[in-house]
Amino acid sequence: MTAEQKATAKKALGITVQIAALLVITLQYAKSFSTPAMSAIGAAYAPAGVDSLMLKNIEGLPSLMAIVGAFAVGILERYMKKKTMLIIAMACTLVGGVVAGLMPETIEGFYGILACRVVLGFGRGMIFPMASSFIADLFEGRQRDRLMSFKTAVGGLSGSVFQLIGGFLAVMSWRYSFIGYLFIIPIVAMIVLWLPEPDVKPAGMTADGKRGNALKSITVAAWIVILLAGVWNFFQFSYFTNISLCIKEAGLGDTGFAGIISSTQTLAAAVGAICYGAFLKGRLRGFDLPIALLGEAVGFWILTHIVSVPGYYAGAIVYGLAFGMFNPALILQIVKVLPKEGATLGLSLLAAAQNLCQYFSAYVLAFFAGLMGVAATGQFAGWNVAWPLATAMAVLVAVIIVITKAKHPELIAGLKEPGKQADIEKTV
């Protein structure tokens, strides 16, 4: 395709394509449908001998299989079209979700649910990198940056909506929360009909169609981003695992209050992502990531030092705003240091690293809690580890950015786009 043909194709990417690209991330959060039904599932399968430890696999298996799914994207893109991979991922999400609700209330039926969660998790892992890679492949410049930010907001809000629907359905029956996955069918239809196949060759593919070493497309800078993002996920994920436990231990409220605080954080994350894409991107002199990390550190500090109802609203808002800013800034940074053909593979490696570190988060936090002498703080130990290490991580990232800006400013995603590029984007 010539440069003129590519320019024409870019102009053809109208509102429906943008909507379809943003809708991909909603499927990542479809797991939220069944989250409110955990206690009902436990009660239904208790007579069959299913204990609380076995029950946790319903939530744990999708996260573990997401690692495999994310890796699979980087491999499969060399053998099939990206949209075909996306259709496979959507089918896994839909089938893995709905079929689980048809299982009998026996031990065999419970293992059937776990098998469905394996399928769901694999699809979920595939969707995460592709939700970003389709935007990176189809759009450029400011439009790409805005869509990356809006993607984070859309994902968070859809997760909240799915969880509300799942909670309403779970009141009637735990089965209905799984049947609720049928609600994603209109989303799947819009993606299939509106989202085009990107005109980007896979990583490692030569001009004559031969398959080379795909990992050669992953730059040293990209490996550094993947490593640091994975390490940070050890600590960042503690907010989500500890929020309800800390509220209960502090005596601030029941599960209803925990749900309100979680919703507050989700809304704040959506606002943070939208604000970042709308006017913060390009105004922070490239220090987007360390500023977001400091924001998360402040959020953790508030949650551990101002243990009150107002304090938890404030902590959730501060953490949410920073979290909403961190995610699009991270995706844009890794896309910035990758060649176009390496974006999908790089994003799949990033997703795999984040999911892997997320899975082992509790063990790493327990280790550091003992090392830092905060294990005695109970459920707050994870956050007492997270806020100082988030501060240290912010300083480290800031130092890396200062050094990189001095020698290779073109590798920093948070800098302003050249004026010429801005003018081009106005025509898209």
Query: Is residue 290 domain-shared with residue 353, that is, in the same domain?
Result: yes
Domain membership of residue 140 as a residue range: 12-202
Give the end-to-end CA distance of the chain in Å, rounded to a whole number: 18
**Where a domain ends, among 153, 181, 202?**
202
Q: State the Cα–Cα distance between residues 422 and 170, nearest whole angstrom.
A: 49
Query: Is residue 100 domain-shared with residue 24, that is, in the same domain?
Result: yes
Query: Is residue 27 domain-shared with residue 168, that is, in the same domain?
Result: yes
Q: State the Cα–Cα distance between residues 73 and 82, nearest whole angstrom.
A: 9
- Quick one: pLDDT at residue 77? 87
pLDDT single digits (tens) 223-279: 999 999 999 998 888 888 788 788 888 888 876 787 788 888 888 998 999 999 888
Query: Is residue 36 domain-shared with residue 159, that is, in the same domain?
Result: yes
Residue 270, C-beta contacts closer than 8 angstroms, at least 6 positions apart: 152, 153, 156, 157, 324
User: Which position has the token pair 């220090």?
Assistant: 287
Query: Is residue 147 domain-shared with residue 288, that is, in the same domain?
Result: no
**Where a domain ends, among 150, 182, 202?**
202
- Quick one: pLDDT at residue 160? 81
Within-domain flag for 268: yes
DSSP string spanning 209-264? S-B--GGGGS-HHHHHHHHHHHHHHHHHTHHHHHHHHHHHHHTS--HHHHHHHHHH
Model pTM score? 0.82
Q: State the Cα–Cα distance between residues 282 and 270, nearest whole angstrom.
A: 19
Query: Is residue 183 domain-shared with residue 245, that is, in the same domain?
Result: no
Within-domain flag for 6: no
Query: Is residue 263 domain-shared with residue 347, that is, in the same domain?
Result: yes
Within-domain flag for 299: yes
- Quick one: pLDDT at residue 424? 35
Query: Is residue 229 domain-shared with residue 377, that is, in the same domain?
Result: yes
| 241: Cα separation from own chain's centroid | 15
Query: Is residue 65 domain-shared with residue 153, that is, in the same domain?
Result: yes
- The list of the chain residues with pLDDT below 50 reads 1, 7, 11, 419-428
Within-domain flag for 207: no
Within-domain flag for 422: no
Within-domain flag for 297: yes
Query: Is residue 128 domain-shared with residue 156, that is, in the same domain?
Result: yes
Number of domains present in the structure of the chain: 2
Q: What is the CATH number of the domain that holds 336?
A: 1.20.1250.20
Within-domain flag for 350: yes
Query: Is residue 46 domain-shared with residue 166, that is, in the same domain?
Result: yes
**Where a domain ends, among 157, 180, 202?**
202
